[in-house]
Homo-oligomer: A and B are copies of this chain.
Amino acid sequence: MFNIEKICVIGGDRRQVYLGELLSADGKFVTFCALEKCAEAAPDYSSMRIAISKCDSVILPMPLSKDGITLNTPLSDTEITLNEEFAEMLRGKRVFCANSAQLKKTGDYSDVFVYDYLAREELAVENAVPTAEGAIAAAIDNTDITLHSSRCLVAGFGRIGKLLARELNALGADVTVSARKPHDLAWISSCGYTAVKTNEISESGSYDIIFNTIPSMIFDRDVLSRTAANAVVIDLASKPGGIDLEACKDLGIKAFAALSLPGKTAPRTAARIIKDTIYNIVREVHP
């Protein structure tokens, strides 16, 4: 266990702003950088250098970078290149980031304490809540029927699949969930949903709404034509996803990807989840 008391929050979207506010409400001293469109922030690169120097910890955004070269700073006009100079500014600090491997490639981080909050299982679990809610709102908003009584297929029984199936069921949908392993299929039945083997989806009938959570090509042209003729298809799996969107277009099937839902649908909750995860890291680490 160590302490974080003076924290510099750099870049990112509204989640970072909320995160800073939450930390501040916990009595921490918080400075914002590269967030000037949304928060009172250090106005430029050299102020950022000073701000970092006065803090013990730095929080970098999720995602870390969109191009692999610069920090992700949608709420700022300051461009921050991830390079040796940036690494040097962080020397001796506790740095919490979303993709430590990517960060470490951009400079010498041997004297920086780097922690990856995105790699933590509890963050992934908690993020399933806003993801499931975002998926539910997307389904309500993009269909002309109610979820209630609709035939829904959730492909995949990982974190998001588990929670999404639970909530769809609670809203009165007729829920089928696919998985591969017998014990997952047993769980699906035990939860009261219809279980189908992932490789037998195409023989399982047709659906009104399909949610894919599996990051590999499950819904190819053949499967789509058999199960999704009148469906709305929502891909929740990270790119390249699991749905042949081209085939959907040809077949006249309404389909779209819904990604990064926690930050979009519930940025304040997403910030609270990141904060809790950082606190867990702080508690567990014995440096």
Interface flags, A82-103, vs B, CB<8A=1, else 0: 0000000000000000000000
With A133-B171, A137-B137 already in contact, the answer to whether A268 and B125 are too (CB < 8 A) is: no
CB pair B146–A269 under 8 Å, yes or no, is yes
| Chain B residues near A210 (CB-CB < 8 A) | none
The CA-CA distance from A69 to B63 in the complex, in Å, is 57
Smallest CB-CB separation from A262: which chain B residue?
B146
A152 to chain B, nearest CB (A): 13
Which among B125, B183, B186, B192 is the interface contact of A190 at CB below 8 angstroms?
B125
CB pair A266–B146 under 8 Å, yes or no, is yes
Which among B146, B149, B185, B192 is the interface contact of A148 at CB below 8 angstroms?
B192
| Chain B residues near A122 (CB-CB < 8 A) | 182-183, 185-186
Smallest CB-CB separation from A272: which chain B residue?
B145
Smallest CB-CB separation from A189: which chain B residue?
B126
CB pair B18–A144 under 8 Å, yes or no, is yes
Interface size on A, residues (CB 8 A): 48
Whether, in the assembled complex, A140 has its beta carbon less than 8 Å from a beta carbon of chain B, the answer is yes
Interface residues of A in 162-198 (CB under 8 A from B): 163, 166-167, 170-172, 181-183, 185-187, 189-192
The A interface, classified by DSSP as helix, strand, loop or mixed, is helix
Interface residues of A in 257-287 (CB under 8 A from B): 265-269, 280, 284
Interface residues of A in 18-37 (CB under 8 A from B): 18
CB pair B170–A125 under 8 Å, yes or no, is no
Whether, in the assembled complex, A134 has its beta carbon less than 8 Å from a beta carbon of chain B, the answer is yes
Whether, in the assembled complex, A128 has its beta carbon less than 8 Å from a beta carbon of chain B, the answer is yes
Which among B137, B146, B187 is the interface contact of A141 at CB below 8 angstroms?
B137
The CA-CA distance from A5 to B170 in the complex, in Å, is 38
Shortest 3 CB-CB contacts between residues of A and residues of B:
A170-B170, A121-B183, A122-B186
Residues of A at the B interface (CB closer than 8 Å) are 14, 18, 120-126, 128-130, 133-134, 136-137, 140-141, 143-149, 163, 166-167, 170-172, 181-183, 185-187, 189-192, 265-269, 280, 284
Q: List 6 A-B contacts (CB under 8 A).
A: A125-B187, A130-B146, A144-B269, A148-B192, A167-B171, A170-B170
